[in-house]
């Protein structure tokens, strides 16, 4: 049996790790994660463009999903999403995140569309609208209570005609951006 002992520098005690008595196979010693510790991180980076002309309906943003399998039912999952969106008209963008098919972290007061983040491209200057990219940022701490794989994904909604873009400005593709969705498993 092997033993490692770590003594505190200020004389505050020690911690000992003991290996298994069996020498037949290697053994793995797994330490429990303290609450709040990040256990795993999974990220999707979208580097291409998504465009839709769908109006008054939620749309999945292709390439903006992430799968994670929590190691414990007590774990929480921190979802961090950042995205650049645009259009060339006076259109409201609403963003939300779904856990599998359930919207999470959305407002409960809006009379028309419940979301997690809003980008309103309304401006008197049409040229400015088509040249700009709005920044959407959402962070949610979810409690999925499962050890099965979960898919988190981004959806967008717009309230008027015209194209809606992710990772590019409405005017043209001479300037671009990237979007990310990241899932952090947090020990419960």
Instruction: Give the H or E element holding residue 66.
Output: strand 59-68
Nearest to 83 by CA among 128, 118, 107: 118
When pLDDT is cut at 50, 70 and 90, the band that residue 97 belongs to is very high
> Is pLDDT of 69 > 70?
yes
User: What mean pLDDT is reported for the chain?
Assistant: 83
Q: What is the pLDDT of residues 72-89, one digit of tens each?
A: 999 999 999 999 888 766
Residue 65 has pLDDT above 60, yes or no: yes
Task: Give the pLDDT score at 135.
Answer: 81
Helix (H, G, I), strand (E, B) or coil at 127: helix
User: Per the structure block, which two tokens stand in for 86?
Assistant: 């645009």
Of the listed ranges 24-38, 53-67, 73-87, 129-143, the one predicted with least confidence: 24-38
Contact 155, 49 (CB under 8 A): no
> What confidence category does residue 158 fall into, taking pLDDT thresholds of 50, 70 and 90?
confident
Span of 47-56, 130-139, 163-172 with lowest mean pLDDT: 130-139
Domain residue limits, the chain: 35-186
Q: How confident is the model at residue 114 (pLDDT cuts 50, 70, 90)?
A: confident
| Distance of alpha carbon 183 from alpha carbon 188, whole angstroms | 15
How far, in Å, CA of 44 to CA of 22, rounded? 42
Report which of 159, 171, 160 is spatially closest to residue 132, judged by C-alpha positions. 171
8 Å CB contact between 64 and 156 = no
Which pTM does this prediction carry? 0.79
Beta bridge pairs of residue 129: none
Contacting residues for 35 by C-beta, under 8 A, at least 6 apart = 187, 188
pLDDT of the residue at 128: 56
pLDDT interval class at 108 (50, 70, 90): confident
23: confidence class by pLDDT, cuts 50, 70, 90: low
Q: Residue 22: its pLDDT value, please?
A: 64
Cβ-count burial 10-27 (b if 16+ within 10 Å, e if not): eeeeeeeeeeeeeeeeee
For the segment 123-134, what is each residue's pLDDT rounded down to a tens digit? 555 555 566 677
Residue 1 pLDDT: 56
With a pLDDT cut of 70, the percent of the chain lying above it is 74
Q: Where are the alpha helices (DSSP H) in the chain?
A: 126-131
Query: Which residues make beta-bridge pairs with 81?
Result: 138, 181
pLDDT higher than 70, residue 25: no
- Residue where the block lists tokens 């290697």: 26
Instruction: Specify the 3-state DSSP secondary structure of 25.
Output: coil
Instruction: State how far the Cα of 165 lies from the Cα of 103, in Å rounded to an integer.
Output: 21
- Provide CATH code, domain 35-186: 2.60.120.1340
């Amino acid at each position: 049996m092997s033993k490692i002992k770590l003594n505190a520098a200020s004389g505050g005690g020690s911690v000992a790790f003991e290996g298994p008595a069996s020498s037949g196979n290697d053994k793995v010693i797994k330490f429990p994660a303290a609450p709040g510790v990040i256990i795993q991180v999974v990220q999707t980076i979208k580097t291409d463009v998504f465009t839709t002309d769908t109006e008054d309906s939620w749309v999945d943003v292709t390439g903006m999903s992430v799968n994670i399998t929590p190691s414990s039912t007590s774990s929480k999952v921190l979802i961090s999403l950042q995205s650049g969106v645009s259009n060339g008209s006076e259109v409201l963008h609403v963003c939300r995140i779904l856990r599998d098919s359930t919207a999470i972290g959305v407002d409960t007061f809006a009379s028309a569309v419940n979301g997690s983040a809003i980008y309103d491209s309304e401006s008197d200057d049409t040229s400015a609208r088509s040249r700009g990219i709005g920044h959407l940022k959402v962070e949610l701490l979810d409690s999925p209570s499962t050890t099965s794989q979960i898919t988190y994904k981004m959806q967008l909604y717009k309230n008027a005609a015209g194209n809606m873009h992710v990772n590019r400005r409405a005017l043209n593709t001479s300037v671009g951006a990237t979007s990310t969705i990241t899932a952090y498993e947090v020990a419960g």
